[in-house]
Chains A and B, each alone.
Chain A
């Protein structure tokens, strides 16, 4: 897929190092393969709308940025619920497909499933081409 991942929290880079050494490396061999960035003070988190002043941390925000440096998608959760990585991968695949082909991907699209080609011929005729059940297949 060719995606660069950056992980950011308000912890120091020193804490990141120790976390990688004592815990992450026990979950992923060799530790996680992406940089762990320190947003001490939450200034970057504030710009991205994820800094929570009450707890003083950046909550669980995730942003997909395309090669033109445009934000394509975001998801922000409070701390208690973890992400769905499969959905993140699906969204990246869908955006990459859209950029490459100019097609659009209906709800629930995954690689290999039907896409739609936008244009005058399709307006008002989507019901012929795509059924809501397909979103759950």
Chain B
């Protein structure tokens, strides 16, 4: 993945949802929609692409770049918190 320009509030792609998983047009008008894909044990991992701090710089990281390896994804509540 190329270096990300260090602009303010640069959006990253987020969850990557394939064409056939996209909600129907009528559903897009619902303001708060449940995501179409949900992570479940025993099922394929939902793909995503996010901006990361890695090494010395900022890069977009896509989960599927690591396909073929064992991966551990850890969510945590926040930088500078306590545990």
Q: A residues near B, CB below 8 A?
A: 1-11, 13-20, 23, 35-41, 43-50, 55, 57-67, 69-74, 79-83, 88, 92, 95-96
Contact = CB atoms under 8 A, between A and B. Distances in A.
Interface string B53-67: 110001101011011
Interface of B: 4, 12, 14-15, 35, 37-46, 48, 50-54, 58-59, 61, 63-64, 66-81, 83
Contact of B77 (A20, A48, A55): A55
Contacts, number: 173
B70 A67 contact: yes
Contact of B45 (A11, A17, A63, A92): A63
A4 B75 CA distance: 14
Contacts of B53: 13-14, 16-17, 20, 35-36, 38
A71 B70 CA distance: 10
A13 B1 CA distance: 15
Contact of A3 (B41, B44, B71): B71
